[in-house]
A and B are shown apart, each in its own frame.
Chain A
Amino acid sequence: MLFPTITQDAQLIGELYNFVFVFAVLIFLLVEGLLIWTAYKYRRRAAGEAPVQVHGNNLAELTWTVLPGVLIAMIFGLTVDTMSKLTAAGSINNPIAHVHAIGDREAQARVERAQKVDLVVEVTGKQWFWAYDYTDYDGLGAFGLSSGVGDELVIPAGKNIRLDMTSDNVIHAWWVPSLGGMRYVNPGDRSYIWFNVPDTGKEQVFLGQCNVFCGKDHALMVAKVRVLPEVQFRAWYSATATARNQPPDFTKGDAARGKEIFTTGVCASCHTVAGTKAQGKVAPREMTTFASLPTIAQLPASDPKATINTQNLYAWLKNPAAVKPGTAMPNNKLSNRDAVDLVTYLLTLK
């Protein structure tokens, strides 16, 4: 492996690679050597040469059928052994690492350690960036990083990290080679990846990229992972959580920014506002004169959450299902600021 293998999983993969690579080189040298030797030794020297007509040799053919078979069996066995020790490859809809290490106590213990997750980050593949939602770390609360511009995944060193990954558009893939392995990030289900980056006492940065072609700017969908020593991470986490979770301040609402989010972001994939780029055809009614409508989401006017005002609209955008159970509108995990700006914009649509 030409990239540094940082995590234990990546190291295991690197060792398997090195083992297989030795045999790959040996077979390569054998075949190329035979070819060169044949070309030199048996080149035609005289026009009338009449070589002996050999039609085959059962023993020779059996040998070069069985020996490669044995070699393949060996590589297969070693690969299965490596797989039993890996924790990274959690399968679909299953957040628990598969324990195949039956009888291998050391590997078993390692998998079990890895299952004690210290930090879960919900990763959403967007077109074309990664959005990170931190559910909690040691009781410090939840927040999201999803502006789409230059967000990094920040994690603590020496801790078990699990990424719970999904997509709300096309298929993506999470691939940070140094951290071991790759998983597709699929719309409609969840995939999982684990890692534990050893603590070096210093900040570490690892680069990766989306690895399933996902449309126009696939090339720009970089995954940057910043690993901080635990103390620094804790400071970063509480500072970011506080900043991201500022209570909503409607006096600072920015309708122009709200319009930008609405017309270029996720809202526009379903909703229409005449005269803008938002031309989605999914939602039941168009939004051009939204602020003049009687209620939010056709709720009965008797419902105290139905009247269109800043507080109600804010609550609706932050968690639609809590206002109207069963609604088709998803929770888009808007940050407080984004929600405030959207509310301000929506109230201008008269």
Chain B
Amino acid sequence: MASIPVPVTRRGSALGGLIDILTTVDHKKIGLVYIVSSFIFFILSGLLALGIRTQLAVPNNTFLPPEAYNMVFTMHGTGMIFLFVIPILTGGFGNYLVPLQIGARDMAFPRMNAFSLWMFIFAAILIMTGVTLAVVGYTAQIPSLTQFSSSAAWTAYVPLSSKQFSPQIGMDLWVLGVIALGISSTLGAVNFLVTIYAMRAPGMTAWRMPMFTWSMTVTAAMILVATPVLTAAMIMLIADRQFGTQFFSTSNARLWQHMFWFYSHPAVYIMVVPAMGMLSEILPVFSRKPIFGPKVIILSTVAIGVLGFTTWAHHMFVSGISPEVERFFMFTTMVIAVPTGVKIFNWIATMWGGSLNFKTPLLMGFGFLSTFVVGGITGVVQGAIPLDAEVHNSYWVVAHFHYVLFGGSVFGIFGGLYYWMPKFTGKMLDEKLGKLHFWTMFVGFNLTFFPMHILGLMGMPRRIAVYPDGRGWEVSNLVATIGAFMIALSVLIFIINYLGLARRPKAPENPFEGNTLEWATDSPPAEYNFKKIPVVTSARPLWEARTGQKDIEH
């Protein structure tokens, strides 16, 4: 933790810094601890992904035995979703940026904010310690340690996750971890909603709120509705496992699927909407233009937030629900493509006629747009029930959601890291390394995930620990593995860039011509954020100050 280049060591010693981190209720420090810790979980979950790709590089491989492979893919999914993408976007960027963007001095409930953070850290340790022990168990051949990890996939479908079929304690640790994460996430959502509702600076009307803050509003509302359902399902599952309550007895197996996807489909939007919000900040700034159609962007985000709750059963098209219900969910699934498509065209129109400054954040924005659109299109394709019946659970689906969650969320996260790093640390990341990072990641990403569409259409199921030769799956799998190592290389370039921050020159207050309030204070900001609470007269207060022109009224 001592390597975080943030003003946490102001108390003069490493111990003082540590105590500061452990006791802080400052939204910026909490945000940075979220970002750094979830990035560590990104690296760990990424290493698990390399394990998956190494095992699948060639047919009949024996790098990982099936038990170990099943654990590795379970924890890759769990780690990336619950310990990286959601916490870094909401707990990390959300915590750091929302109070700054609305001109507030902190979140509404600072101590609850710290509670959310440490609940997250506790849950992550619960889950990740289990995985680490299990990995040691498999490599050092100590069977007693292998039971500390779950291996029932991140979906934990009953009855596979029941005591009968997953007797190991790792399954209980996993469930407890997810319950703790759910509590952390739900409290965080309450905090965001209250902060955004009650603590905006004078003059900041709803339409003047920055795009990222708007996306966090919708995200927090979604978390508040969705997450308690997952937490309830997890409590029911652990009660089944420990006390035999029979909530999910055999005839109720689909109840789990409904409850799980009622959270986990909106979770996809929880993971991508904040990244969309960051994109809506980055594109205008690096085009020197206002966002095109701000109200349409905002309303489409709200539409995604609402429609996101009506599509969950498309994960169950082949699990045996009535055809009439299936048709309803097919319709909603296809319809949600419309607000998403509107956003993409509005983003392109934002850049149209602009003056595009190709710094790394904008490159990451192009990475987001060009890959996310593929995930959006394949989403409509597999939303058609007969096509879903041929690609469900195949590698096509793996390709689809990585184009959404890596193409969308992860490119968005890196764009955000490059854009706000001067604000976080007072130092600029190196542009040359940044561009190298982008291109390595972009090529590696497409090499990894594009061939998976082909694998799915050739009949390769997901979650298989080994595949035979002679089915035509060899080349695509090998290419995907090479791509995965390229992604790992690109992340390594980012880490080198980050570690070099200390030697970089001091960043100016507003290095990228940002227009929102977080750029109207020091980099990094003082504990109280603003010397004087700003008064807001438009959606782009800093643009007005810089150009001396009046922005349009909202």
Contacts and interface: CB of A to CB of B under 8 A. Distances in A.
Contacts of A182: 318, 389-390, 392-393
B320 A218 contact: no
Nearest to B552: A55
A207 interface: yes
Main SS of the interface on chain A?
mixed
A170 B346 contact: no
Contact of A64 (B160, B345, B454): B345
Interface string A167-189: 00111010101001111101111
Q: Select the residue from B295, B381, B462, B467 with max chain A CB neighbours within 10 A.
A: B381
A44 interface: yes
A212 B384 contact: no
A92 B462 CA distance: 24
Nearest to B322: A91
Given A38-B351, A61-B342, A86-B386, A76 B334 contact: yes
A219 B318 contact: no
Interface string B302-340: 000000000000000011111100010011001101100
B157 A171 contact: yes
A32 B159 contact: no
Interface in A1-49: 1-3, 10, 12-13, 16-17, 20-21, 24, 27-28, 31-32, 34-35, 38-39, 42-45, 49
Contact of A43 (B253, B353, B358, B466): B358
Given A51-B289, A219-B466, A209 B373 contact: no
B374 interface: yes
B169 interface: no
B320 A3 contact: no
B537 interface: no
A219 B355 contact: no
A53 B66 contact: no
A321 interface: no
B230 interface: no
A96 interface: no
Interface residues of B, number: 84
A51 B353 contact: yes
B253 A75 contact: no
B296 A51 contact: no
Contacts of A207: 459, 471
Q: Select the residue from A43, A91, A171, A220 with max chain B CB neighbours within 10 A.
A: A171
Interface of A: 1-3, 10, 12-13, 16-17, 20-21, 24, 27-28, 31-32, 34-35, 38-39, 42-45, 49-57, 60-61, 64-65, 68-69, 72, 75-76, 79-80, 82-83, 86, 88-89, 91-92, 98, 100, 169-171, 173, 175, 177, 180-184, 186-189, 191, 207-220, 269
24 contacts: A13-B387, A31-B348, A32-B370, A38-B352, A50-B288, A52-B353, A53-B290, A54-B353, A56-B293, A64-B341, A64-B342, A75-B380, A76-B334, A88-B389, A92-B322, A100-B323, A170-B165, A173-B318, A173-B392, A182-B393, A207-B471, A209-B461, A210-B461, A219-B464
